[in-house]
Structures are given as C-alpha cells and as structure tokens.
Amino acid sequence: MSFLRRKKPDDNSAPPPPPTPVAEEVAAQQYTLKLAYLARSSDGLRMEADPAVRAMLPEVVAPLALSPVEVIEPLGREFGEAAPRIERVIELEQWVLARAAVSAIGRHALYLLELTDAIDMTVDTFFCALLHGEVDTSGYPDYNSIVGGLASHWDELNGELIVRAVVGWGGEGQRGDTERIGRRLLSSLYQQVIATGRSLGPATAARLPTPGRHAGAVCAHCGFDAGAAGAFYCPKCGMRMQRGG
C-alpha cells in the first residue's frame, strides 16, 4: 500500500564543507639581534718591579691611540662581585657604580674585554684607548672600532710587573678587515713594550690568582686576598703579602 509509506524529505542541503587544513606557518614578523665580541691578548712580558715602569705604560700606548689613554685601576674590595652581566642584577649594579667615572670608550672596552675574560679587573690595571675606528654621537665606539691597550699585574712569586697587550672589537655586526687590523695592533702594542728596553723576557709561567679561594695570603696594603698559598706579592698592588693564619 503505497499511500501508507512515509515519504522521504527532499534532501536539498549543501554538503558539509571540507575540513580546514592546518596551517604550518602563519604570517609573522621576525626580530633578530646578533652580537659578537672578539678579543685578543698577547702573552705576558716580564718587566722590572719598579712603579716607574708601570707609570710609563700610558706613554707606550699613546703612539697607537686615537683617544687619550685612560688608566683604569682594579676594582676595590667593595666591588669584588662586580661584573658587566645584565642577567646578574646585583653584580651589574656594582659594576655600574664602580665604573661610573670611566669614559664611554673605557666602559665599552671594559664591557667587551671582561665579558670575553680577556682581562681580570680584580688585579689588572688597564691602560686603555681607542685604537681604530670612530665613535658615535654619544662617544661610544662603533661595532667595527677596535679598543685596547695594555693590562698589567704584579707577579705573585717575584713581584715583577707582568704586561700584556689586549685588543677587542664587536657588537652588532662585523667587517672582514677588522680582525686583520686587530692582529696588527696587538703586535704593535707588544713590540712597543719590548722597545722600551725594560722587558726582562716572556712571562710564560706567570699565573693569576684563583678567585674564591682564601688561603690566608692577604695584602696589608690593599686587603686583596690572593687565593693562593704560595703568593708572596700582591698581584693587584705589588706589595709584599702578609702571611695570615
């Protein structure tokens, strides 16, 4: 009986849409900052244990300098934890306070050379200048400028002055000829030290103190703890160490 059969409704609806494909990439903006700092240090040269020799080191750097030679002393005891590392706020605050009076060129050089561990400002005295390139309107060296000079400390065993040539450059970009110029300047600084006639030879066995160790060898003059039981002279000021208990 056909009249009793249920009539099927007309199916005029549209077919379901196809599934939306998963986008592997979306529209985005990319932001990149690439920083590269490079530093070079010569081997040390032994020089006479005479404060007058240390006092003449700015004159050794001056013929190669494009800016006045700045003498940057080691950090004081109150800034013993200072470091130019932005992720360590307390150390960075100490570093900013300790170097507030340093010039823009000097701060740039310290930042670069301390980050790369080319100098140790707990003991080093740094004779610093702009050696190549230009500065921006704020007085800071451009990325392809080269800063550096001489770093000195006193030998812990015999009290001789140990002098190294150091140079550094870098920042947001590099130029192909910067490293070649840096090598040449490092060699020139090293030869300038030898040309003084006060060098006693290479300091291949010279060593710096190990931070964080306290062996009782304390300088009575500046309070520096050499961190080495065999230290007889303060690497920071050159005075005879006090043998503590």
CA angle centred on 12, ends 9 and 15, rounded to 5°: 120
Residues 123 and 225 in one domain: no
Mean pLDDT of the chain: 84
The answer on 202 and 223 residing in a single domain is no
Q: Kindly state whether residues 215 and 237 are assigned to the same domain.
A: yes
**Residue 159: pLDDT band by 50, 70, 90 thresholds?**
confident
Q: Is residue 94 part of a domain?
A: yes
Q: How confident is the model at residue 34 (pLDDT cuts 50, 70, 90)?
A: confident
Both 92 and 45 in one domain: the answer is yes
The reply to whether 115 and 229 lie within a common domain is no
Of the given ranges (33-42, 61-70, 225-234), which has the lowest mean pLDDT?
225-234
Residues 5-18: tens digit of each pLDDT: 666 666 666 777 77
148 residue type, one letter: G
Report yes or no on 8 lying in a domain. Answer: no
CB proximity list for 209: less than 8 A, separation 6 or greater: 122, 123, 156, 226, 227, 228, 231, 235
159 in the same domain as 145: yes
pLDDT at 38: 92
The DSSP result for 109-159, as a single string, is HHHHHHHTTS--TTT-EEEEEEEES-B-TTSPBPTT-EEEEEEEEE-TTT-
CATH (domain of 184): 3.30.530
CA distances from 51 to 1, 6, 134, 160, 170 (A): 125, 115, 33, 10, 33
pLDDT at 170: 86
Are 99 and 109 in contact by the 8 Å Cβ rule? The answer is no
Least confident of 24-38, 71-85, 115-129, 154-168: 24-38
Range of the domain at 74: 36-206
**Within a domain: 7:** no
Whether 122 and 220 map to the same domain: the answer is no
The pLDDT of residue 1 is 57
Kindly state whether residue 31 falls inside one of the protein's structural domains.
no
107 lies in the same domain as 225: no
Q: Round to whole Å and give the CA distance between 10 and 148.
A: 88
| Mean predicted confidence (pLDDT) in 66-85 | 91
**pLDDT surpasses 80 at 25:** no
Residue 223, domain member (yes or no):
yes
Q: Where is average pLDDT lowest: 190-199, 201-210, 211-220?
A: 211-220
Residue labelled with tokens 């070079």:
40
Distance in angstroms between the alpha carbons of the first and the last residue of the chain: 118
164 occurs within a structural domain: yes
Residue 195 has pLDDT above 70, yes or no: yes
Q: How confident is the model at residue 213 (pLDDT cuts 50, 70, 90)?
A: very low
On whether residue 2 sits in a domain, the answer given is: no
Q: How far apart are CA 49 and CA 224, in angstroms?
A: 19
More confident position, 198 or 209: 198
* Range of weakest confidence among 32-36, 96-100, 144-148: 32-36
> Do 224 and 180 share a structural domain?
no
For the chain, list the strands marked E by DSSP: 36-41, 45-47, 70-72, 125-132, 146-154, 161-171, 199-202, 217-219, 241-243
Domain identity same for 48 and 157: yes
Weakest mean pLDDT among 15-24, 74-83, 131-140: 15-24
CA–CA gap between residue 44 and residue 205 (Å, rounded): 9
Q: Is residue 30 part of a domain?
A: no
List 212's β-bridge partners, or say none. Answer: none
- Both 81 and 196 in one domain: the answer is yes
* In a shared domain, residues 225 and 110: no
Highest mean pLDDT among 12-26, 41-55, 167-181: 41-55
Q: In total, how many domains does the chain have?
A: 2
Phi/psi at 127 (5° precision): -105, 105
